[in-house]
Amino acid sequence: MEAQALEHERRLESARGEEALKHAISAAELYMQAAVKAKTHAERSRLKRKCAELIALGERLKANAKAAAAASRPPVPESTRTLTTSEKTILLKASHLHGNVFPPWDSAKAPGSSEDTGATGDAYIDPSPFSLSAEQQAIFAGWKRPAELVPGAQDGLTEVDLEQSMAAVTETDFAQDLATDCSVVASLCAATRHLGPTKDSLLASLIHPFDHNAIRPAVSKNGKYVFRMYFNGTWRRVIIDDRLPASSTNRTLYVVDRRNPKLIWPALIEKAYLKIRGGYDFPGSNSATDLHALTGWIPEQIFLQSHDIELDETWNRIKKAYDDGNAILTLGTGNILPEEELALGLVKEHDYAVLDLKKDGSSRLLLIKNPWVDSLVWTGVGSSATLKTHTLGSTSANGSNQFWMAFEDVLQHFDSLYVNWNPALFAHRQDHHFKWEMPDKTEELVFTHNPQYSVLSPSRSPVWVLLSRHWQDGELDILRERRASRDRPDPSLANVSKQLGFMALALYATSPAGTRVPLPDETRRLRQGPYVDSPNTLLRYNPTPGIPQTLVVAQSDLPLPSYTFTLSFFSSEPLTISPAPEPFPYSTTLRSAWTRRTAGGSATHPTYLTNPQWSFTLATPSPISLVLSTDTRDLPVHVAVLFSSPASSTSSTSNGRSAAKRAAYVSGRDVVASSAEYQRGFASAATATARPLDRGTYTVVASTYEPGQTGRFTLRVSAAVTLSLVPVLPDAAGMLRTTVPQTPPPPRRDGSHSHSQSHAHSRRLRARVGLERLTRLSALATTTTTPSTSSVAFASASASPPASAAMVMAVRVALELGTGPHRTVLAVSREGEFADASMGLRTGEVDVEPQFVRERGGLWVVLEQIGGGGGAGSDSRLPLQGQQQQPGVQVEVLSDAVVHLGAWENADED
């Protein structure tokens, strides 16, 4: 028999393809038969070893046939960009995770060194603790090495046993049991054809020591293994020992190969990965994230329930990439109801491996595998599986929990398709690492603090951008805390993972090109990726050649105070990438709030003047940009910039107060910049760069839609020149208030009118203002209420107008020099327009000398009223029961020095 086996080996040397595979299988079978009949232990061991070698060779030949299309892959691109000192610091700090240190991989260090291979020294013990869940702990039987775990190895492992622990005898069939890492096992199942004994095997760069001649992992003499995994921005070293968690039952705590029960390298990969994710009580992930760490291949999550998904385009894209060996595919279900699980044979919130794709006539089919040891499988139309459960070691056709499923059914019953793309599809790669301190809650809805990059491409060739959030201990703490809360209304994995927040990438066209984007703007957005609760998200787009575009990193509800990230750009042409600059070189930011006293509402409300207001002065013409953002998503807000005074005006008074007018209303001719009508959460306003604001002083007003709508906000103002925001204080802040002391006579009821105003009641009153020195002053008129005739009396007197008519009143107030036709108006409210004074009408401020007043016939505060029925002056009496309130007017003079006010007198003759 051995002679026959040698003849097959001789023919094998010159054979190719299927013929070579047949000779390898025949020789292996003959050596196995010879080993059974061997008379000595040494002879039996030698023949078994030859058998194992030929079986391994057969597996390599089989894998080579499957991966023929991938046999000539181009090299994987590496980022050659020189890192800044801060970026190097970020990567070093990100090495610390879960009490361990995972340093960046030193490519200059030979991975075959004695430190890596574990070729010498005592048996290595990894001091790192590996946590277990309560369910796992209940059956945990200690950490044991492979010699204690391999079936039938109680008397020690033979050389053949050692070989079989690293080389599969037959086709692999990985399965998950009590471990909570379905995504990891699904990843290993889906990546099997890239982990096999081929010259392009990803195992060669993943695990050390490695036998490059046999193309399989080598057995470490002292049990120490070093893995090269990609996470937290770079390739890193992960060191473990070969001890695995043993079980006191027939359940297993690590991944097993049901067809090759002695194979341990999958369990070693699993252990290394779980070390960087926190332990065997791993709360869960998704396969794309896991495969990104294991292989470095670019992860993409395709949301199958999205209305935007294009069925044919998606199938064609993944089918070609899969056939070319450039894509690894996995699937994830959503939160399926228990009755649906049984009916469909699918498990909720579970990851599945895709093992093959094919077209059968007009049908597009996926071969899908459930990585669980015992589980239901798809029972729908076209399924090739049954509802049988399976045990370890099963090699039946259905024992691997595989089933064919139509692509249309996949779209209906799975939530996500995960694709990991071979980075060798691209010629160029550029990595950027950054730290992001989470903004104040009032700025979460805008982009004022978001990382942004200017990206310039010389061609339209596709650009892929991968955003990777670095793992940190705080996230694992959140997952474990939320997962352990059994009293939560929805403790599902999907709900728990959302506690880590969401992130996305968006691409914008800006002016100037490549500058920062202040806030989400659909009119300028070119591409928007989905918000995902995964640590990775991919944006694919075709750039506009020669024009910089702005890439924005967006987030929602990220719970920790700061994060570090890596942006990886993949392209066919070299890209020019830099942090996006601000469109204006200067900006100022302030935080404030609308309170019960300052939430005045929109300009349609008389309380508008109580809104928070600021002034700024431009020394030279400049465009400006304003961003107003709140901590309440549903709060409708608005920001406006109003002209206050020209450049020739004094910007401040002698006591340092702002000279800007407090806006009591919005006049179209005064508005120089305004946001769109009340938007929820944030608003922006800007002037065109080509039409800058003139020199002068301006007032900024931030408002909510309705009075009394409160909330915190942040206001950011940017310009081409330096500026500062000065609060516009409420009326009379820091000034003396003097009220006209005497109640004026009631208005005439003879139907006469003033200034061509045809109202039933009108009058013009004045009161003298006495000064002692140079004084800055203004006048303020405010509507008050006084008791009037009861509504019942009006109803019974046919000659009397209804109460609503009696309530209508418009006024204006002015400061005048002199009387009669030669008087001079120094200041007037609302530019001379009559208006409602319920929240006050104020003139502008003027500086007046006592001598000038004497020469010009005296200084007067003048009140004009149209409509209404009450008198001017304050009346603090409460209305009698059954009486309604009639409007009156109170007039005050606001000044920075003492003034003396005379009594009201009639001024209609003026």
Interval 221-256: pLDDT, tens: 899 999 999 999 999 999 999 999 999 998 889 999
Instruction: State the pLDDT confidence band at 114, using cuts at 50, 70 and 90.
Output: very low
Check: CATH 2.50.20 for 736-906? no
Instruction: State the pLDDT confidence band at 883, using cuts at 50, 70 and 90.
Output: very low
Token pair 């009916």: residue = 343
Highest mean pLDDT: which range of 71-85, 657-671, 824-838, 868-882: 824-838
Instruction: State the pLDDT confidence band at 397, using cuts at 50, 70 and 90.
Output: very low
Instruction: Give the residue-averaged pLDDT of 590-594.
Output: 96
Instruction: State the pLDDT confidence band at 799, using cuts at 50, 70 and 90.
Output: very low
Q: Please say if the pLDDT value at position 357 is more than 50.
A: yes
Torsions phi, psi for 893 (to 5 deg): -110, 125
Instruction: State the pLDDT confidence band at 878, using cuts at 50, 70 and 90.
Output: very low
Instruction: State the pLDDT confidence band at 176, using cuts at 50, 70 and 90.
Output: confident
Torsions phi, psi for 800 (to 5 deg): -90, 145
Q: Does residue 42 sit in helix, strand or coil?
A: helix
Q: Please say if the pLDDT value at position 542 is more than 90.
A: yes
Instruction: State the pLDDT confidence band at 908, using cuts at 50, 70 and 90.
Output: confident
- 302: nearest Cα among 402, 411, 187, 192: 411
Instruction: Give the residue-averaged pLDDT of 766-772.
Output: 94
Query: What are the extents of the domains in the chain?
Result: 2-66, 99-285, 297-424, 426-579, 591-727, 736-906
Amino acid 756: pLDDT: 41
Instruction: Give the residue-averaged pLDDT of 671-684.
Output: 94
Q: CB-hemisphere CA count at 13 Å for 80?
A: 6
The Cα 672–Cα 624 span in angstroms is 10
Instruction: State the pLDDT confidence band at 902, using cuts at 50, 70 and 90.
Output: very high
Highest mean pLDDT: which range of 81-95, 633-647, 679-693: 81-95
Amino acid 697: pLDDT: 93
Instruction: Give the residue-averaged pLDDT of 570-579.
Output: 97
Token pair 């023929």: residue = 68
Amino acid 85: pLDDT: 97
| Fold exhibited by the domain 426-579 | Jelly Rolls (2.60.120)
- 902: nearest Cα among 775, 748, 771, 783: 771
Across 104-113, 197-206, 691-700, least confident range = 104-113
Provide CB contacts within 8 A for 784, sequence distance 6+.
870, 874, 875, 887, 888, 889, 890
Q: CB-hemisphere CA count at 13 Å for 136?
A: 21
- Per-residue pLDDT tens for 602-660? 988 878 888 999 999 999 999 999 999 999 999 999 999 999 888 655 444 444 455 56
Q: Please say if the pLDDT value at position 216 is more than 80.
A: yes
Specify whether the CB–CB gap between 28 and 59 falls below 8 A: no
Highest mean pLDDT: which range of 282-286, 348-352, 788-792: 348-352
Amino acid 345: pLDDT: 85
Q: Looking at per-residue confidence, does 802 or 162 come out higher?
A: 162
Retrieve residue 166's tokens: 């690293």
- Per-residue pLDDT tens for 819-857? 988 899 999 988 888 988 876 788 888 999 999 999 899
Token pair 């260090």: residue = 109
Measured in Å, how far apart are the chain's first and last C-alpha atoms?
Answer: 133
- Per-residue pLDDT tens for 91-101? 999 999 999 99
DSSP for 242-292, written as a single string: S-EEEESSS--SS-EESS-TT--HHHHHHHHHHHHHTSTT-----HHHHHH
Instruction: Give the residue-averaged pLDDT of 313-327.
Output: 96
Amino acid 881: pLDDT: 40
% residues pLDDT > 90 (the chain):
55
Across 436-450, 795-809, 846-860, least confident range = 795-809
Q: Please say if the pLDDT value at position 338 is more than 70.
A: yes
The Cα 320–Cα 53 span in angstroms is 34
Specify whether the CB–CB gap between 574 and 661 falls below 8 A: no
Could you tell me which CATH number the domain at 591-727 has? 2.60.120.380
Across 75-79, 337-341, 385-389, 497-501, least confident range = 385-389
Helices (H), 670-751: none
Count of C-beta atoms within a 10 Å radius of residue 582 = 14
Retrieve residue 468's tokens: 């990777």
% residues pLDDT > 70 (the chain):
81
Instruction: Give the residue-averaged pLDDT of 734-740.
Output: 86
What does R_g of the chain's alpha carbons equal in angstroms?
40
Amino acid 608: pLDDT: 87
The Cα 665–Cα 751 span in angstroms is 31
Across 102-111, 420-429, 768-777, least confident range = 102-111
Instruction: Give the residue-averaged pLDDT of 799-806.
Output: 39
Q: Looking at per-residue confidence, does 384 or 561 come out higher?
A: 561
Q: Please say if the pLDDT value at position 391 is more than 60.
A: no
Amino acid 606: pLDDT: 75
Q: Please say if the pLDDT value at position 390 is more than 60.
A: no
Across 35-39, 62-66, 67-71, 684-688, least confident range = 67-71
Q: Looking at per-residue confidence, does 153 or 138 come out higher?
A: 138
DSSP for 841-872, written as a single string: EEPPPEEE-HHHHHHTT-EEEEEEEEE-SS-B
Retrieve residue 183's tokens: 């995504």
Amino acid 618: pLDDT: 94
Q: Please say if the pLDDT value at position 884 is more than 80.
A: no
Amino acid 116: pLDDT: 53
Residues annotated catalytic, as ranges: 182, 350, 370
Amino acid 802: pLDDT: 41
| Same fold yes or no, 591-727 and 736-906 | yes
Q: Does residue 139 sit in helix, strand or coil?
A: helix
DSSP structure class, residue 819: S
The Cα 390–Cα 258 span in angstroms is 10
- 160: nearest Cα among 51, 41, 60: 51
CATH second-level architecture of 297-424? Alpha-Beta Complex (3.90)
Q: Please say if the pLDDT value at position 788 is more than 60.
A: no
Amino acid 869: pLDDT: 52
From start to end of 444-595, where are the E strands?
Answer: 452-456, 463-469, 502-508, 525-528, 536-541, 549-556, 562-571, 576-579, 586-594
Amino acid 152: pLDDT: 57
Strands 586-594 and 711-719: antiparallel
DSSP for 565-598, written as a single string: EEEEEEESS--EEEEPPPSSSEEEEEEEEE-TTT
Q: Looking at per-residue confidence, does 220 or 651 come out higher?
A: 220
DSSP for 66-135, written as a single string: HTGGGTTPPPPP---PPPPHHHHHHHHHTTEETTEE-PBP-TTS-TTSHHHHT-SSSPP---------HH
Specify whether the CB–CB gap between 767 and 902 falls below 8 A: yes
Average pLDDT in the chain:
84
- Per-residue pLDDT tens for 185-206? 999 999 999 998 888 889 999 9
Instruction: Give the residue-averaged pLDDT of 25-42.
Output: 85
